[in-house]
């Protein structure tokens, strides 16, 4: 079952198109890696997918309905963005951050710790004192409390060492495998991203220039490299 579909989406800022004529689908239980160099349009794609920006043309369907600009409503339906800037209250404790997130959605605040047990001993710590990786874990935990069915993950690894990324990405994979969440994963660490994905799509100057099963892309890194640099 397709949970997210972009059909011929062109979107951008002012008169500049950052994403051009993009077709993309994500099925329930599937992880799709959205790859490409800086400025290729990855974040713009995620923003269009949740309704933060309106496509200039084309359409976005999530869970069978058209995505509009009512982002809160879309999130309540289970289409959830984990932004790259850590959307957390740094003066509050981990527990209070999770409580605030849970109050808006329903599940107990500590249910998120089942998938992120490394946060458990940190619940009383002020978020400002967490490491970057721990903050990303918290951002993911907050997204989980929204009970996502479609999860859009923007550079979980921002500023993190690959070892921290290696810990977080399997959590994302687990959501797809165990709960049937459809995941669109933006990630700079190409091999790590493809390692937990079913398919990969490379954007270059806003266009999809390569799309294939993740295993094929891992086996043909030259093709990925060429797509990154626009040689295809
Ligand atoms: P990165 O890997 O660097 O985060 P990206 O692939 O996510 O890049 P986008 O953030 O989607 O790329 O940006 C695509 C293009 O749109 C870039 O040329 C960028 O400068 C431009 N852009 C992004 N956000 C805005 C904005 N708010 N206003 C104007 N232009 C923007």
Return the percentage of the chain with pLDDT > 90, whole number: 71
DSSP state of 125: S
Q: What are the pLDDT digits (tens) for 133-176?
A: 888 889 999 999 999 999 999 988 777 777 778 888 999 999 99
Q: What are the pLDDT digits (tens) for 205-219?
A: 999 999 999 999 999
* Residue 223 pLDDT exceeds 60: yes
- Selection from 105, 11, 104, 20 nearest residue 49 by Cα: 11
Which residues have a Cβ under 8 Å from the Cβ of 104 and sit 6 or more positions away? 146
CA angle 1, 70, 11 (to 5 degrees): 75
**Ligand 1 centre from 41 Cα, in Å?**
6
Q: Is 40 in the pocket of ligand 1 (CB under 6 A)?
A: yes
- Selection from 122, 175, 133 nearest residue 156 by Cα: 133
* Residue 96 pLDDT exceeds 60: yes
Judge if pTM exceeds 0.80.
Answer: yes
Q: Is 38 in the pocket of ligand 1 (CB under 6 A)?
A: yes
| CA pair distance 163, 147, nearest whole angstrom | 27
pLDDT of residue 158: 73
Strands (DSSP E) along 28-175, which ranges?
31-35, 57-62, 65-66, 79-82, 150-154
Strands (DSSP E) along 36-181, which ranges?
57-62, 65-66, 79-82, 150-154
Average pLDDT, the chain: 91
In this structure, how many other beta carbons lie within 10 angstroms of the beta carbon of residue 159? 12
**Ligand 1 centre from 59 Cα, in Å?**
20
**Ligand 1 centre from 38 Cα, in Å?**
8
């Amino acid at each position: 079952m397709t949970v997210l579909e972009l059909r011929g989406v062109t979107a951008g800022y002012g008169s500049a198109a950052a994403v051009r004529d993009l077709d993309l689908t994500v099925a329930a239980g599937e992880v799709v890696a959205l790859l490409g160099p800086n400025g290729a349009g990855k974040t713009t794609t995620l923003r269009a997918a949740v309704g933060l920006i309106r496509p200039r043309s084309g359409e976005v369907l999530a869970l069978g309905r058209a995505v509009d600009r009512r982002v809160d409503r879309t999130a309540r339906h289970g289409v959830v963005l984990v932004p790259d800037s850590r959307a957390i209250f740094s003066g509050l404790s981990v527990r209070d951050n999770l409580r605030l997130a849970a109050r808006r959605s329903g599940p107990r605040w500590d249910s998120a710790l089942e998938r992120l047990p490394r946060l458990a001993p940190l619940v009383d710590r002020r978020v400002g004192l967490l490491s970057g990786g721990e903050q990303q874990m918290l951002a993911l935990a907050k997204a989980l409390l929204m009970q996502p069915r479609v999860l859009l993950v923007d550079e979980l690894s921002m500023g993190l060492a690959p070892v921290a990324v290696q810990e977080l990405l399997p959590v994302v994979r687990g959501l797809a495998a165990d709960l049937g969440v459809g995941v669109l994963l933006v990630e700079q660490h190409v091999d790590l991203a493809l390692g937990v994905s079913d398919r990969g799509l490379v954007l270059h100057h806003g266009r999809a220039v390569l799309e294939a099963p993740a295993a094929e892309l891992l086996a043909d890194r030259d093709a990925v490299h060429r797509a990154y640099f626009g040689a295809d």
